[in-house]
């Protein structure tokens, strides 16, 4: 049975998670600075070092709310994932270094899995981040489609009988 999608009418302030691996942090800071005017009225959630670098890159004139969680390998990716599961993140920009092995690879996979599961728009490179932020739907929650609640979609799974 297809569920009808409805519009989600909420405030226009978004909470956007920005995450970058070490070799991609400079790229994310540059992307952030390029889009500072579009981002300044929204809340930014960033993992540890990325958050510090973003804060350092903002001039004192630009008032922007940047909150940090722990560094990715110390649980920051999991904290952002938990925020996604609690519907507290509206978009995720995650510049991943795919050429360098990451010790917390399972956390990264879990974070991206939750973003997909909860229908959170995700960009994993600058080109996609540019497309996402330039979409007319991105900053307008009034025009954003609300997808069926994940919990209701997985009721059968949640109520399944476990074999002893």
Question: Which are the catalytic amino acids?
Answer: 77
Token code pair at residue 100: 């360098």
Q: How far apart are CA 118 and CA 87, in angstroms?
A: 8
Residues with Cβ within 8 Å of 72's Cβ and at least 6 positions away in sequence, in order, are: 19, 21, 47, 48, 104, 107, 108
Please write down the long-range contacts of 22-25, taking CB distance under 8 Å and 24 or more positions apart. 22/49, 22/97, 22/100, 23/97, 23/99, 23/100, 24/95, 24/96, 24/97, 25/49, 25/50, 25/53, 25/95
Which is nearest to 85 in space by CA: 109, 48, 113? Answer: 113
- Paired with 75 in beta bridges are none
Which is nearest to 32 in space by CA: 57, 61, 3? Answer: 57
């Amino acid at each position: 049975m297809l569920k009808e999608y409805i519009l989600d009418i909420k405030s226009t302030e978004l909470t956007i998670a920005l995450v970058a691996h070490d070799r991609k942090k400079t790229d994310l800071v540059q992307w952030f600075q390029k889009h500072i005017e579009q981002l300044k009225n929204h809340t930014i959630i960033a993992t540890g070092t990325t958050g510090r670098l973003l804060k350092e890159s903002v001039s004192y004139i630009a008032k922007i709310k940047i909150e940090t969680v722990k560094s990715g390998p110390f649980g920051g990716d999991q904290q952002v994932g938990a925020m996604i599961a609690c519907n507290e993140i509206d978009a995720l920009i995650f510049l991943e270094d795919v050429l360098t092995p990451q010790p917390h690879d399972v956390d990264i996979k879990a974070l991206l899995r939750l973003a997909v599961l909860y229908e959170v728009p995700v960009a994993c490179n600058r080109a996609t981040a540019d497309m996402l932020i330039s979409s007319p739907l991105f900053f307008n929650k009034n025009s954003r489609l609300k997808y069926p609640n994940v919990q209701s979609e997985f009721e059968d799974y949640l109520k399944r009988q476990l074999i002893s």
